[in-house]
Amino acid sequence: MKSSEIKSKFISFFESKGHKAMLGSSLVPKDPTVLLTLAGMLQFKPVFLGQEKPPYRRVTTVQKCIRMVDVERVGKTPRHHTFFEMLGNFSFGDYFKKEAVQFAWELLTREFKLPVTRLKIAVFEKDDEAYDIWRKDIGLPAEIIFRLDEENNFWSAGPTGPCGPCSEIYYDLGEEFGCGKGDCGPGCDCDRFLEIWNLVFIQYNRDESGQLLPLKQKGIDTGMGLERIASVLQGKSDNFETDLFVPLIRKIMAISTAGESDPSARIIADHARAVTHLIADGVFPDNTGRGYVLRRLIRRAVRHGKMIGIKGPFLVDLSSTVIAQMEEAYPALREKSALIAATLKEEEDNFMATLDNGMKLFGELQEAHKADKKITGEEAFRLHDTFGFPIDLTIELADESGMKVD
């Protein structure tokens, strides 16, 4: 099933259950507490909090998201990204846990026809209600329902705001993908159990002091990662092998020495999607805030391009592939294509002009600090100020060679 079909199947399934299909929001959120849109629920935060009237009681969206928490894992695992699309269904004071679980199960097992034997469930350890719904209403055996702790199964968009216990649905890729540890199961950090869908039972507002205040109206916020469900439905064990990434990876392979599972090629493909969408949504490279995220991603991509032998600028060309692939779903990409190209070109040219010299300096620092394995603040500043290395890049480089940055 092509990823575009997965999206439309998801949306039409929820439309058939009385949901209104709404547009996802910009990557630049209205919400001042987060830098970038990191989940489908973000545009509905005021609705969950009862500050705004729900547009509809039941809503479904496809939301483009950026999360920087996993940036260092991108390309090294089959399932992490900075930019991804999240398929979601929402209830604002309408249905709650039982229907949310029933809808998810029906879509996965009847529409997407996933084999039940591959699915595993996690619930928050104190959430007996959710446990009982899976056990009694859906009729699943106890062995496949796992009770996990707050870190795994309690979701919030940030330190404050709407939140609640959640239930996750995992796809078991099989023992060969596992870490082999005795306690390997859903929630394990290895690649065996792929979390495909998170159902959040929004019932609290966490205030500034960290207290959980019950919300007047409970709600549902779910998110299924398109890249992950696409890998499952396309019979791949790796998101980068899906139709969402193959055209980009092929293009990168054609201009580099990389093979198809080279982490650098994957990092570039991931970052190309992120930076194209960020610029389309009005972000410009900068030294702070969202602009810094964009700058960091562009410069990371350029450095990885160098590592796999790409000669000359390449990001503009890759962004045109992203645009061609995604413009139907995101028409702003085409409208902003000239701006995207100009912004990428300028940033890439600037960084390329200093990258070689910066890397030379970094090599010298490696030599000089063989014993103490520590780059001084002054040296990190010089890499930033003279050669345009964002501090995170210096830290990454240091990390790769077992060094620290003061």
Site for ligand SER in 288-347 (CB under 6 A): none
Which CB atom, from 232 or from 341, has the smaller least distance to ligand SER? Answer: 232
Residue 92 bridge partners (DSSP): 219
Residues 6+ apart with CB under 8 A from 370: none
Which CB atom, from 39 or from 144, has the smaller least distance to ligand SER? Answer: 39
Q: What angle do CA 302, 306, 309 make, to 5 degrees?
A: 135
Q: Does 222 bind ligand SER (CB under 6 A)?
A: yes
Residues 6+ apart with CB under 8 A from 376: 406
Which CB atom, from 60 or from 319, has the smaller least distance to ligand SER? Answer: 60
Separation in Å, CA 181 to CA 152, 188, 192, 220, 382: 19, 9, 11, 34, 44
Please identify which residue in the block is written with the tokens 């929820």.
14
Residues 6+ apart with CB under 8 A from 63: 24, 25, 37, 39, 40, 42, 43, 85, 86, 88, 223
The CA distance from 402 to 204, in Å, is: 43
* Among 34-42, 243-251, 264-272, 358-366, the segment contacting ligand SER (CB under 6 A): 34-42
* Among 100-108, 221-229, 262-270, 362-370, the segment contacting ligand SER (CB under 6 A): 221-229
Q: Which of 198, 256, 264, 394 binds ligand SER (CB under 6 A)?
A: 198
Site for ligand SER in 84-143 (CB under 6 A): 88
**Residue 19 CB, nearest approach to ligand SER (Å):** 14
Binding mask 37-76 for ligand SER (x = CB under 6 A): --xxx-----------------------------------
The CA distance from 19 to 35, in Å, is: 28
| Count of Cβ atoms closer than 10 Å to residue 251 Cβ | 19
Single-letter amino acid code for the residue at 21 = A
Which CB atom, from 225 or from 390, has the smaller least distance to ligand SER? Answer: 225
User: Total residues at the site for ligand SER (CB under 6 A)?
Assistant: 10
Indicate the residue whose CB is closest to ligand SER.
223
Q: Does 223 bind ligand SER (CB under 6 A)?
A: yes
Separation in Å, CA 388 to CA 189, 295, 367, 396: 34, 10, 21, 14
Q: Does 155 bind ligand SER (CB under 6 A)?
A: yes
B/e letters for 301-319, b = 16+ CB within 10 Å, e = fewer, are bbbbbbbbebeebbbbebb
Which CB atom, from 82 or from 198, has the smaller least distance to ligand SER? Answer: 198
Which CB atom, from 87 or from 232, has the smaller least distance to ligand SER? Answer: 87
Which CB atom, from 39 or from 194, has the smaller least distance to ligand SER? Answer: 39
* Among 102-110, 219-227, 261-269, 299-307, the segment contacting ligand SER (CB under 6 A): 219-227
Q: Does 194 bind ligand SER (CB under 6 A)?
A: no
* Among 33-41, 45-53, 273-281, 341-349, the segment contacting ligand SER (CB under 6 A): 33-41
Residue 176, judged by CB atoms within 10 A of its CB (0-12, 13-18, 19+), counts as exposed
Binding mask 237-276 for ligand SER (x = CB under 6 A): ----------------------------------------
Q: Does 164 bind ligand SER (CB under 6 A)?
A: no
Which CB atom, from 231 or from 256, has the smaller least distance to ligand SER? Answer: 231
Which CB atom, from 155 or from 240, has the smaller least distance to ligand SER? Answer: 155
Question: Which residues of this protein are in contact with ligand SER, per CB under 6 A?
Answer: 39-41, 88, 155, 198, 200, 221-223
